Structures are given as structure tokens and as C-alpha cells.
Amino acid sequence: MPELAYVNGIFVELSEARIPIEDRGYQFADGVYEVIGTYNGRPFAMEEHLVRLQYSLDELAIRLNVSDYGIGRIVSAGIRRANFEETLVYIQITRGVAPRRHEFPSADVKPSIVMTFKSLERLPQEIYDKGVKLISFPDLRWGRCDIKSTALLANVLAKQQATKQGAFEALLVNTEGFITEGSSTSVFWVKQEKLFVTPSGKNILPSITRKILMEIAGELGIETCQFACRLEDLLKADEVILAGTTTEAVSVTEIDEKVIGTGSPGVMVKRIRRAFLNRC
């Protein structure tokens, strides 16, 4: 089955999808996005993703109502059309097509809505069994990481450095030495059987998987705390866990060539991931 795209009201094969060169998403990264995966063919946590999408649109004053446009209905229709065993859905909404000027265009410019539907290949089980290695990297992103903006160059540079060094992910560290999150993941850590996470705010993305894992921890009776952590303190954690739409919950066994805990996935990540998969 060919990969599928949706562009402003029309489904086409991905190879045939086109957008105008003066789309502000291309010119300025003036847009937002969401990524949704399926389990057993059903979009997981779609309502939460759509709420976050609306938040990002509103914060950038992009005039589109997610519910009125029927984004959820289109996602479901695209999943059915694509007919993959499991589907990865990318949603991107930009301010629209207008002559290239920095200020917002006139009110009659319509937002551009693009989606892609691809086969979802999950991480190999070996990664969950053995854990992954990270590097630390300066957090070079803008000050509104709570908006899921398409302006991801800083994230790309961090991930590329991790790839060059043979690591799974880059752990972002701000100018004050505190951990924020990964280039495309959220970060948890365990100390004395408590689960810690970076405090919510404008310096991190309000991750859907992060939210769900915190709910699961509560259901399991695990105490969860939001706490700002420096890199040197994180290295002393009993466990470090990465979370994300395609990552789910994976153990970190090494950061900057320093072993975390026992160097193997710990009890906490196994409990949380098992409960997460049961929920899916």
C-alpha cells in the first residue's frame, strides 16, 4: 500500500503531494504539528493530541478550529484508507500561503492543513531489553517549547550530534545546567523508588506520553514529583527513562559514557512500560 497524504481537503499518494513554495510553513516554519501512532489500528490518545494541537494553534494565533474542521475525522479516514497494520500520522498546520513578509498576512489567508500516513515501525524489542545510550547537548531552542512548532532545527542539530556519537538520543541541558528534555523525547528519572520529571512550563513540550506515564505511575502507587534536575545529579539516578509517541518508555543505561544505575533496565521502567502497553 503506498504511503498516503492529505493536503487541504484531498487525499493523494504521498509521492504526488504538493504545497506552494510561499507556504509560510516552508518560508518561516510558521506552523505547528502533531504525531499520532496507532495500536491495534486505532489512534492512541487522539483527543489529547488534538487538544494540544489546538493550544499550539491558539498560541500562534493561527485561525483554525480543530474540531470544526474535523481533524480527528480526517485522521481516522486516512488511517482506514492507508490500511497499514499500524500507522504513524503526521499532522501539520501552517498559517497558509502568502507573499513572504515577516508580519502575519491578512485575515483572508487560509491555514494549510497537511497530513501524512505511513506504516509505523516500532522500536526493536532489543532496545527495551538492553536500554539506550545518550549524550548531553546544549538546549539551543527558542523560549516557547510548550508550542509544538515546526521550527525544529535546534532539535535536529542535537539529534544529529547524538547520531554521530552512536547514541540513541541527545539530552538537552539549558544555560543554567538543568535538564529540560530530549531532542524528541521526555525524560524521567528514578531515585529511591520515586519517579521524577522536569517541571511543566514553557521550556518543555507538554508531552502526551509523559502525561500518560505519570497517570500510570499514580495508578501503580508510585510517587511522582516534578523537580528541576542538573545533569550531574541525573547521572546519580537509579534509573533514567525516555518517553515519547514512538519511544513509549525505554531505559537509559548510559549518559556521556557514564553508566546509569546498574547499566541495565531497572524495575521501574519495566513496570511502567508493561502498564502502558496494557492501556494501549
Q: What is the mean pLDDT of the segment spanning 240-246? A: 97
Q: What is the pLDDT of residue 107?
A: 83
* 58-96 per-position pLDDT tens digit: 999 999 999 999 999 999 999 999 999 999 999 999 999
**In the CATH hierarchy, which fold is given to the domain comprising 125-279?**
D-amino Acid Aminotransferase; Chain A, domain 2 (3.20.10)
Q: What is the pLDDT of residue 220?
A: 97
C-alpha distances out from residue 98 to 66, 88, 178, Å: 22, 30, 40
| pLDDT interval class at 184 (50, 70, 90) | very high
CB 184 within 8 A of CB 148: no
Rounded-to-10 torsion of CA 23, 19, 3, 47: 40
* 86: nearest Cα among 35, 34, 40: 40
C-alpha distances out from residue 61 to 90, 114, 262, Å: 21, 18, 48
Residue spans in the chain of domains classed CATH 3.30.470.10: 4-119
Residue spans in the chain of domains classed CATH 3.20.10.10: 125-279
Please confirm, yes or no, whether 130 is among the known catalytic residues: no
DSSP 8-state code for residue 217: H
Q: What is the pLDDT of residue 84?
A: 98
Q: What is the mean pLDDT of the segment spanning 229-233? A: 95
Q: What is the pLDDT of residue 1?
A: 73
User: If one looks up domain 4-119 in CATH, what number appears?
Assistant: 3.30.470.10
Query: Taking the model in full, what pTM does it have?
Result: 0.96
| pLDDT interval class at 216 (50, 70, 90) | very high
Compute φ and ψ for 208, nearest 5 degrees.
-65, -45
Select which of 148, 159, 164, 194 is catalytic: 148
Positive or negative, the CA dihedral 261, 264, 268, 272 is positive
C-alpha distances out from residue 250 to 46, 209, 244, 256, Å: 22, 12, 9, 17
Any idea which residue has 487560509 for its cell?
110
* 106-158 per-position pLDDT tens digit: 888 999 999 999 999 999 999 999 999 999 999 999 999 999 999 999 999 99
Please work out, in degrees rounded to the nearest 5, the angle formed at the alpha carbon of residue 37 by the alpha carbons of 280 and 81.
115
